[in-house]
Amino acid sequence: MEAWLSSSLLSLCLYGLWAVLSKLAQSAGKATAAEYQSLAILTMTLLTGYTFFAGPAGSIRAPAELPLLGASLSVAAGLLSYFAGAAYSAALSAGPGSAVAAISGSYPALAFAILALAGQEEVSGMKVLGLGFALASTACFAMA
């Protein structure tokens, strides 16, 4: 199995577990969805920061080595991730977990469409068919 495929499948499983744990966390106590999401984001930030800045053998990599455009896009992606997580938590606290996870989990289809329109993703018949199936399965979960 190719490395990208095994990493993609691992990501799928981890995001699925993330959705389950997020729903369980909100039903486990009296904290708000934003408080639980903040704790999750803090944990992710600490782990990501350690992984990103730790170089070989634990040496620290200087942020100056980062290209400005890449760093700026990463910060923007992080901000969008925060707001997406907050919106996900709000939806999860008010709606059924299966529908919320299916709808919010459709972001790859949206990313594909945007990247295809921008000319950054190759469009093929199989990808368009997959996009159609993804949207149909999302609709099934949302309406059930």
Query: Domain ranges in the chain?
Result: 3-95, 106-144
Distances in Å between the Cα of 44 and the Cα atoms of 21, 39, 67 are 14, 9, 23
The residue with tokens 């800045």 is 53
The stretches in the chain having pLDDT less than 50 are: none
> By the 8 A CB rule, do 34 and 88 touch?
no
* Measured torsion, CA atoms of residues 51, 56, 62, 67, in degrees rounded to the nearest 10: -80
Q: What is the pLDDT of residue 58?
A: 56
Residue 114, both tokens: 């945007």
Residue 59: predicted pLDDT: 59
Conformation bin of residue 54: beta by default, left when phi > 0, alpha when psi is -120 to 50: beta
| Under 8 Å between Cβ of 84 and 44 | no
